[in-house]
Amino acid sequence: MAALRVAVLVLLGLGCAAAAVPLVIWHGMGDSCCNPQSMGYIKKIVENKIPGIYVLSLKIGSNLIQDMENSFFMNVNDQVTEVCSQLAQDPHLKGGYNAMGFSQGGQFLRAVAQRCPSPPMLNLISIGGQHQGSVYGFPRCPGESSHICDWIRKTLDLGAYTQAVQEHLVQAEYWHNPLKEEDYRKSSIFLADINQERGINETYKKNLMALKKFVMVKFLNDTMVDPPISEWFGFYESGQAKETIPLKETLLYTEDRLGLQEMDKAGKLVFLGVQGDHLHFSEEWFYTTILPFLQ
């Protein structure tokens, strides 16, 4: 009788597709959770291709305007805390989820992986994220936010590493000036922390290494991220702003401060390159290259 019961359960299972792993999306600078031309569109095409999937596009604030403004002016550490709370309270995510961050949303979701292991993040996909810092020079700005970016650029040039700017300007918190490395390590309240630049937080390392895959997408013709190799965890060689070094030549990797070397050897790191400027990619590329990590 027990054998018959098992056989029936197996047969019933054959007719049931496994539930899709939920997906959490975090937008980039100057964007919002539900813009029909960006995150709203991504949410829609994922839902169309993976029937039944639950997709949460993160909103920081009570409305879309606040969400967009917070991408410029809300302390990143506070944003990460808010997101961790949202994820912990969402019953759809209790069994784990995949995460996909666009531009600065990539490094912000990495902070979530490192700081908030429950519910568990399974795979992290960073599309144009600046994991060693960026906007050194802040060359341009998305959409209709150029006036905001003009002001930000001037503010960063005057005092990116002052406490007031660090506390209230998102881009300052991952502003990495290779000519002022000591100031950066001492004063960066976000990036220097999650990149283990002031000491080793073993919990950060353990939590990141729990990922099944950490996928990093670099835009090969990027004119916004400086240097573009930051999207693959590389950066300028210290003390100058011309020559860059890849991840494997950084102290972060050689000393394995974050577990990336061990993850790399285990086949957990995936480096993808796509032709195009920052966040410019085709729907076909997204379907063929990114969707497999979500299924």
**Number of neighbours of residue 54 by Cβ within 10 angstroms:** 17
Q: What is the pLDDT of residue 16?
A: 41
Q: What is the pLDDT of residue 154?
A: 74
Contacts of 100 (CB under 8 A, 6+ apart): 23, 24, 25, 26, 42, 109, 124, 125, 127, 290, 294
Q: What is the pLDDT of residue 200?
A: 95
Residues forming the active site? 103, 222, 278
Q: Helix 76-89 crosses helix 104-115 at what angle (to 10 degrees)?
A: 60
Model pLDDT for residues 134-159, shown as the tens digit of each residue: 866 555 555 545 577 677 777 776 78
The domain segmentation of the chain, as residue ranges, is 23-293
Cα–Cα distance for residue pair 23/92, rounded to 1 Å: 10
CATH superfamily assigned to domain 23-293: Alpha/Beta hydrolase fold, catalytic domain (3.40.50.1820)
How distant is the alpha carbon of residue 127 from its chain centre? 7
Q: In DSSP terms, which residues pair with 56 in a beta bridge?
A: 24
Q: Is 11 exposed, middle or buried (0-12, 13-18, 19+ CB in 10 A)?
A: exposed
Q: What is the mean pLDDT of the chain?
A: 89
Residue numbers of the chain with a pLDDT score lower than 50: 1-16, 144
Cα–Cα distance for residue pair 87/66, rounded to 1 Å: 19
Q: What is the pLDDT of residue 142?
A: 55
3-class DSSP state of 120: coil
Q: What is the pLDDT of residue 242?
A: 86
Model pLDDT for residues 6-64, shown as the tens digit of each residue: 333 333 333 345 689 999 999 999 999 999 999 999 999 999 999 999 999 999 999 99
Q: What is the pLDDT of residue 118?
A: 97
Q: Nearest to residue 68, comparing CAs of 110, 105, 99?
A: 105
Q: Nearest to residue 232, comparing CAs of 254, 199, 260?
A: 260
